């Protein structure tokens, strides 16, 4: 079974996808982490994420791996053998990931990796193009969204809780730049699949979103009522 959860940054996809996967005994795959790791590799080489030729040239030297922490189910991401799960969570890398994700060669390499990891497994995968491009035949597709202000507030709270020094305005402007980039790129842009269930999460708690998705899956006969 494949469950696709797409939507813009800060819509709550990753927390919801992870919790849903845990509850259903499925594997959670965060595809944004892969684009972030590519951006980190580009930065570390002193290159610009906006320089498509340079990024394409580096792609062959980037080896990504993912694993799941046994105790928590949290996804870890490795860049050439190094665990970079925390290093990729900065505003600079968010913007860089959005830049590199415009490059078709980068996307095709990431999509191949994503399909490989998911093959033969039951997965809840979150991203921007899962329902439209990676798994157009997914068992169920969701598109989570919220206003830019709600998403920026969530992102601000998340980053400050981790001790990062950012302002609400920085979070908002970064999300708006990424929305624009991600929605308007030519290849596999951020877009709700025609058959996705749209979930507006502004006035919903995380628990309510998870419960709504579970109720929908139960209704479709795709999961049981149990814990």
Give the residue with the Cβ less far from ligand DC, 186 or 225.
186
66 forms bridges with which residues in the sheet? 77
Residue 4 in 3-state DSSP? strand
- Find out whether 117 and 34 touch, Cβ atoms under 8 Å: no
Q: In the block, which residue shows the tokens 């402007």?
A: 173
Q: Which stretch binds ligand DC (CB under 6 A): 50-58, 65-73, 123-131, 165-173?
A: 123-131
Give the residue with the Cβ less far from ligand DC, 123 or 127.
127
Kind and range of the H or E run holding 68: strand 64-68
Interface of this chain with ligand DC, residues 140 to 169, rule: CB under 6 A = none
Tokens matching residue 87: 């290093």
Q: Which stretch binds ligand DC (CB under 6 A): 59-67, 96-104, 151-159, 160-168?
A: 96-104
Give the residue with the Cβ less far from ligand DC, 97 or 209.
97
Say how far apart CA 34 and CA 56 lie, in whole Å: 15
Binding pattern for the stretch 27-56 against ligand DC, x by CB under 6 A and - elsewhere: ----xx--xx--------------------
Say how far apart CA 119 and CA 121 lie, in whole Å: 5
The reply on whether position 132 binds ligand DC by CB under 6 A is no
Kind and range of the H or E run holding 95: helix 91-100
Interface of this chain with ligand DC, residues 171 to 210, rule: CB under 6 A = 178, 182
Residues that bind ligand DC (CB under 6 A): 9, 31-32, 35-36, 94, 97-98, 101, 127-129, 178, 182
């Amino acid at each position: 079974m494949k469950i696709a959860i797409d939507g813009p940054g800060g819509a709550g996809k990753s927390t919801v996808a992870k919790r849903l996967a845990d509850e259903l005994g499925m594997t959670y795959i965060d595809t944004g982490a892969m684009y972030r790791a590519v951006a980190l590799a580009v930065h570390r080489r002193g290159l610009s994420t906006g320089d498509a030729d340079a990024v394409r040239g580096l792609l062959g030297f980037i080896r990504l791996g993912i694993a799941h922490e046994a105790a928590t189910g949290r996804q870890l991401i490795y860049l050439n053998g190094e665990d970079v799960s925390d290093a990729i969570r900065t505003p600079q890398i968010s913007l860089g990931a959005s830049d590199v994700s415009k490059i078709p060669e980068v996307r095709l390499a990431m999509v191949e990796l994503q399909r490989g990891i998911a093959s033969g497994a039951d997965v809840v995968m979150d991203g921007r193009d899962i329902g439209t491009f990676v798994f157009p035949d997914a068992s169920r597709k969701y598109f989570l969204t919220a206003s830019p202000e709600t998403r920026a507030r969530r992102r601000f709270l998340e980053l400050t809780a981790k001790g990062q020094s950012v302002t609400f305005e920085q979070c908002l402007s970064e999300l708006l730049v990424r929305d624009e980039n991600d929605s308007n790129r030519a290849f596999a842009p951020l877009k709700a699949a025609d058959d996705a269930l749209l979930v507006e999460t502004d006035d919903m708690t995380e628990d309510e979103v998870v419960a709504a998705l579970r109720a929908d899956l139960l209704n479709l006969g795709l999961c049981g009522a149990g814990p």
